Amino acid sequence: MKGSQMDSRARCGSGIDVKTTYTGRYTMGFGVAPRTSHPRSRSSLANHAYQLHCSMGVHPLPGTMKGLKKGDHAAETAALIPKARAQAASGDLAGAIEALLALEKLSRLHNDLASLTTLVVEVLTLLHAHKQFTLLIEHVTLLCKRRAQKSQAIGKIVTTAIAFIPDAPTEELRVQLIQALRTVADGRIFLEKERAQLTQWLSQIKEKNGLISEAADILQEVHVETYGAMTKLEKAEFILEQVRLTLAKKDYVRAYILSKKILRRVLEEDNFEAAKIKFYKLMIEYDTHENNPLELCRHYQSIFSTKTLTPAEKSDALQHAMLFAVISPHSNLQQDMLHRLAREPLRLDLPAFDTLMKLFTTKEVIPFPLPIPGWDVAASSPIFQDPVRGAQWLEDVHTRTTEHNIRVVAEHYQRIRLPHLADIIGLSEESRISALVSNGSVYAKIDRPAKIISFHKTQSPEELLTNWSTDISELLRLVETTCHLINKENMIHKV
């Protein structure tokens, strides 16, 4: 045997732990990890070193290879807790906490999770019982930062301390405790739900103090859509709070971005009725600011379809949907929604709105003011009382009536004189027609010297050819269908 190996074996006899570096040499070990880039795992390396030492007659010191063995401190914990409570009751709270922390260290190092969680909870409970909230905040951080602290113990510390938040004597202490718990929970997946809850409480405190902007910023720090510990309903409610605060902050762009995190189909699931109504009310606030009547109509229609609404709430939602459908600019989607609302059975209980739907879904000229009994009541609807958009929306009813009339005239006339058109639609010459033509609401060409307006749109050669091809295809289809029917009748009579 070589001299270096004999020296190593001689040193082993002195009781000093020896560890291998796996490079063909031995070094004196004092708990230092082997210096190696060997591809085997740390546990396999440790087992290899242990077997090598035993083969050389060396027995490693306890705790140097695998750490302290697992122990059971349940009996010691059960005996210490009553003593600590009595000691704290006698006025020596610091001594009681110190004794509990000493046993907590042993339980932690010996992997006794049951005793460990019991002891950390007892430490916080004693501090809470004696109203020592400053020390409670300090020990929350202290216990969670202790070496090799177990995740089960950290989770128990956070959940226990959360229950003590309402008992804090001052708002400042509540905020400090929440901040300490948020710091502990930050980055720990098993505490992501608790951190979201703590963040929401902190945001509510800021909002109560009038710090809307700060409350919105705090709540936006949490991205619950990536959390797996929260249910879909909890995530939706949290995001709705984010949207509500950003709207209160007047940050409409961010509010719209946040609203996109909630899928509309999720709101149609069971138990989402309250979240659905809250969501669409927030969207109504947003689209009122954006002056988007068509989206407002869709929001009220979605609210109307909610099963948990009372008859009065359903009636109110349907009225708003009908009015916004009329106010919305003409489009295929607007016409589809208008006809869908005109077929709603509940409209029969609202005579004025039923008449309004019939007027705008029938291709006839509508006089203005609208010939609707009770229209004055409908015109006093809350949407027309809005301080920002109300007057404009009431004026839009007149504009949409005029546009409807011009579209009806355009279907029956290719050319018409302006005085005659103005007499039909009840407007002075060119007062509204020129504006509608300019903004593209209708297609028309006006010959002002001749006072003639043409609604006929000149088609390009490509469009003419496409229309001709479509007509020929339709003609051939009809001929083929006719021949089939004739042959069918002949076969029947022959039989």
Rounded distance, CA 307 to CA 457, Å? Answer: 47
User: What's the pTM value of the predicted model, to 2 decimals?
Assistant: 0.73
285 part of a folded domain: yes
Which amino acid belongs to residue 358? K
Domain match, 296 and 381 both = yes
Token pair of 327 as six digits: 């106010």
Helices 273-290 and 293-304, packing angle to 10 deg: 170
384 and 478 together in one domain: no
Angle subtended by helix axes 93-109 and 74-89, to nearest 10: 170
The string over 31-69, giving b where at least 16 C-beta atoms fall within 10 Å of a residue's C-beta and e elsewhere, is eeebeeeeeeeeeebbeebbeebeeeebebeeebbeeee
Distance linking the first and last C-alpha atoms of the chain = 115
**In the prediction, which pLDDT does 60 show?**
44
Do 284 and 364 sit in the same domain of this protein?
yes
The answer to whether residues 74 and 114 touch, using CB atoms and an 8 Å cutoff, is yes
- Kindly state whether residue 181 falls inside one of the protein's structural domains: no
For residues 282, 288, 291, 292, the Cα torsion angle rounded to the nearest 10 degrees is 40
Number of compact structural domains in the chain? 3
Domain that holds residue 476: 462-495
In a domain, 423, yes or no: no
Q: In a structure prediction context, what are the per-residue pLDDT tens digits for the chain, which is 495 residues long?
A: 444 444 433 334 333 343 333 333 333 333 444 444 444 444 443 454 445 344 434 344 444 444 445 678 889 999 999 999 999 999 899 999 999 999 999 999 999 899 999 999 999 999 999 999 999 999 999 999 998 899 999 999 999 999 999 999 999 999 999 999 999 999 899 999 999 999 999 999 999 999 999 999 999 999 998 888 899 999 999 999 999 999 999 999 999 999 999 999 999 988 899 999 999 999 999 999 999 999 999 999 999 999 889 999 999 999 999 999 999 988 889 999 999 999 999 888 888 888 889 989 988 888 887 777 767 767 777 788 788 888 888 888 888 888 888 888 888 888 888 778 777 777 665 666 777 677 666 777 877 788 788 877 777 788 888 888 999 999 999 999 999 999 999 998 887
Residue 101 lies in a domain: no
Contact between 356 and 378 (Cβ < 8 Å): yes
Pair (363, 469) in one structural domain? no
* Tokens coding 479: 């001929």
Residue where a domain stops, chosen among 394, 417, 446: 394
28-to-11, 92, 300 alpha-carbon distances in Å: 9, 46, 78
Query: 302: helix, coil or strand?
Result: helix
Domain limit, last residue, from 361, 394, 427: 394
CA distance 300 to 317: 5
Residues 383 and 473 in one domain: no
162: left (phi over 0), alpha (psi -120 to 50) or beta: alpha
Please give the full DSSP string across 85-140, using - where no structure is assigned: HHHHHTT-HHHHHHHHHHHHHHHHHTT-HHHHHHHHHHHHHHHHHTT-HHHHHHHH
Domain-located, residue 240: no
Instruction: Tell me if 41 is assigned to some domain.
Output: yes
Long-range contacts of 128-134 (CB under 8 A, 24+ apart): 128/164, 128/167, 129/88, 130/88, 130/93, 131/169, 132/93, 133/164, 133/168, 133/169, 133/173, 133/177, 134/173
332-339 contact pairs (CB < 8 A, 24+): 333/294, 334/294, 334/297, 337/294, 337/297, 337/298, 337/301
Q: Are 289 and 377 members of one domain?
A: yes
- In sequence order, the β-bridge partners of residue 26 are 20
Q: Is 263 inside a domain boundary?
A: no
292: its two tokens: 């988007």
Residues comprising the chain, all counted: 495
Listed in sequence order, the DSSP H helices in 187-272 are 192-208, 212-219, 232-248, 252-259
The predicted structure's pLDDT at residue 439: 67
Is the distance from CB of 87 to CB of 95 less than 8 angstroms? Answer: yes
Q: Are residues 390 and 466 in the same domain?
A: no
For residue 205, being part of any structural domain is answered with no
For residue 32, the model assigns a pLDDT of 40
Among 341, 374, 394, residue at a domain's last position: 394
191 and 158 in contact (C-beta within 8 Å)?
yes
Q: Are residues 285 and 386 in the same domain?
A: yes
- Which 3 state secondary structure label does DSSP give 28? strand
